[in-house]
Each structure stands twice: as C-alpha cells, then as structure tokens.
Amino acid sequence: MLAKRIIPCLDFSGGRVVKGVMFKNLRVAGDPVELAELYSSEGADEIVFLDITATEENRSTSLDFVRRAAEVLSVPFTVGGGIRTLEDARSALFSGADKTSINTASVKDPSMITTLSREFGSQCVVVAIDAKRNYAPPQESSMKLFGPEGSRFWFEVYVRSGKVSTGIDAIHWARRAEELGAGEILLTSIDKDGTGSGYDLELIKAVCESVNIPVIASGGCGEPQHMYEAFMAGADAALAASIFHFRKYSIREVKEYLLGRGIAVRL
C-alpha cells in the first residue's frame, strides 16, 4: 500500500505566509522558507508554495524564495501562482522546485497542460482546481448533481484566487486535465477553505472516482480526523495550512493519529 502524504501549504503574499477563510480576510503566519524548513524537519512529505497574488498582479512567481527553499529543504516542493507560460514553469523548476502548479493559465489555455507535460514530464505538472458549490441549474444536463432534491448543486471551477467563476464543472475539468497530461490534481474547496470544519468529502470522492492520477485534498482541515476522512474518500494526499501554521497540531501528531487509524504514512 502506498503511503498517504501530508503536505503543508504555504500561501504567501508580499514575502509572508498568509491564511484566510474562503480565500478572504488574510492574516500573516510567518516567513515561507522558515516555515517550510520547520515542516520538513517535522516529517512533511512535500511542501506546496502558492504565490496567491501573482495572477491578480499579472506577474510571474517570485523566484527568490524558490531558490532559498531549494537550499534548505530535503523534501520535494511544488510552486504555484503566476505560472502562466512554459518559461515561467522552466524558471521555477530550474530554480529548484520539483513540481509546478497551474490553475488560471490552464483554464485559459488547456493546451498548456500538454506543453508542460511533454517538456518536463507529467510528474512535474500539478493542475490546481479551486471549486465551489453552485446551486443554480447547470448549463449542461450531463453534469453530475449532488445533494437532496430541492437543494441540488454542482461544483464550479473558479480562477484568479477564487474570485472569478468559469461555468466549468470541476469533475469534468479534472478528467480533462488528466487527459491533457496532468500528473496530479490539487483540489481545493473554496467553501471549506480556512473554516476548520473538514474537507468537502463529496467533492473529493467525485473527483477521485473520475480520475486515475493522484488527488491532493485541500480546504477545511481542522484536525487529524479530517485528513482520515479525506483519505477514506479517496484522496492520495492531504494538504493543510492553519493547523500547522498556528501550531494546533504538529505533523508528527497528525501522522501518529493516522497510523493509529490504519492509514499508511511515513514516520
């Protein structure tokens, strides 16, 4: 059995790690490289860095922190936010990142997924999907609906740090991303982000049943049990921020809990 991965996420803006609720009301949590080094020493399996204002500011990812991170980290790390072109991805990877995460750019131009996969290998291409429940009738009758009659909903893809709706069904988009060459899906529930109420298990289950590539569950983790639930829903990795940044739990505490529940993790 493959070990499940625990992945701290460091959203940063202006050189500092920040964390909000539903992508809003950000508060500062620390220096991205210092926190990443701490998490690496505690047993994180990977680290994800997301430059959350790069797309809105129409700029590429800041590479200074990528180089700094590469100097101190002993675990793989992914860089996202502002990866808009092949050259952006190349710069991030050549600066030391192991993977690149693309979101807005891939929705705008899906062929970018294939381009990056052919150039660097699918293992380097993480397609990030930020999804939100939409209770309006879907545009296509083929979309899968969730929830009881009278409150049916579907999962819609959002871009530009969760600010712009696309009308795209997240389940369909995950399947399409795999077809185009994505090696992994980073799946974030905007509704759950920062709430600490648990991952959106319906979203995770639906995407995991639709693709054959690894899925990283993101958005809503407040305690180790939530990670257990995400893994039982099919996730290959669990991403979390607040519980680590504000020291509610250490990575080792999370892994010991999961191991006790029968989940294979690396200690």
CATH number of domain containing 34: 3.20.20.70
265 in a domain, yes or no?
no
> How many CA atoms within 13 Å lie on the side-chain side of 167?
3
Whether the CB-CB separation of 227 and 11 falls below 8 Å is answered with no
Please report the pLDDT score of residue 246 as a whole number: 82
Would you write out the chain's pLDDT as a tens digit for each of its 267 residues? 689 999 999 887 666 666 545 544 444 456 788 888 999 999 999 999 888 766 666 666 778 888 988 999 999 999 998 899 999 999 999 999 999 999 999 999 999 999 999 999 999 999 999 999 999 998 888 888 999 988 999 999 999 888 899 999 999 999 999 999 999 999 999 999 989 999 999 999 999 999 999 999 999 999 999 999 999 999 999 999 889 988 899 999 999 999 999 999 999
151 in a domain, yes or no?
yes
Give the residues across from 237 on adjacent strands. 5, 216
For residue 191, indicate whether it is catalytic: no
- Measured from the Cβ of residue 250, the count of other Cβ atoms closer than 10 Å reads 15
Q: What six digits make up the tokens of 126?
A: 């993480």
At which residue do the structure tokens 């990575």 appear?
251
Whether the CB-CB separation of 50 and 97 falls below 8 Å is answered with no
Which residue type sits at 47? I
Strands (E), 70-179: 77-80, 99-102, 125-134, 154-159, 164-169
What are φ and ψ of residue 207, in 5° steps? Answer: -70, -45
Candidates 11, 45, 88, 193; catalytic one: 11
- ∠ CA 41-52-106, rounded to 5°: 105
97 CB contacts (<8 Å, ≥6 apart)? 49, 66, 69, 70, 77, 78, 79
180 in a domain, yes or no?
yes
Please report the pLDDT score of residue 60 as a whole number: 65
Candidates 88, 130, 200, 236; catalytic one: 130
Whether the CB-CB separation of 75 and 48 falls below 8 Å is answered with no
Please report the pLDDT score of residue 58 as a whole number: 66
Q: What six digits make up the tokens of 182?
A: 């994505």
For residue 11, indicate whether it is catalytic: yes
Based on its alpha-carbon atoms, the radius of gyration of the chain, rounded to whole angstroms, reads 17
Please report the pLDDT score of residue 59 as a whole number: 61
Please report the pLDDT score of residue 252 as a whole number: 96
Rounded CA separation 192/104 (Å): 20
Q: What six digits make up the tokens of 175?
A: 């399947």
160 in a domain, yes or no?
yes
Rounded CA separation 203/188 (Å): 9
- For residue 90, the enclosing domain spans 5-260
Which of 56, 57, 58, 61 shows the shortest CA–CA distance to 48? 61
The pTM of this model reads 0.92
Give how many domains the chain has, as a whole number.
1
267 in a domain, yes or no?
no
Please report the pLDDT score of residue 56 as a whole number: 61
266 in a domain, yes or no?
no
Which of 4, 21, 31, 8 shows the shortest CA–CA distance to 248? 8
80 in a domain, yes or no?
yes
146 in a domain, yes or no?
yes
Q: What six digits make up the tokens of 131?
A: 């999804």
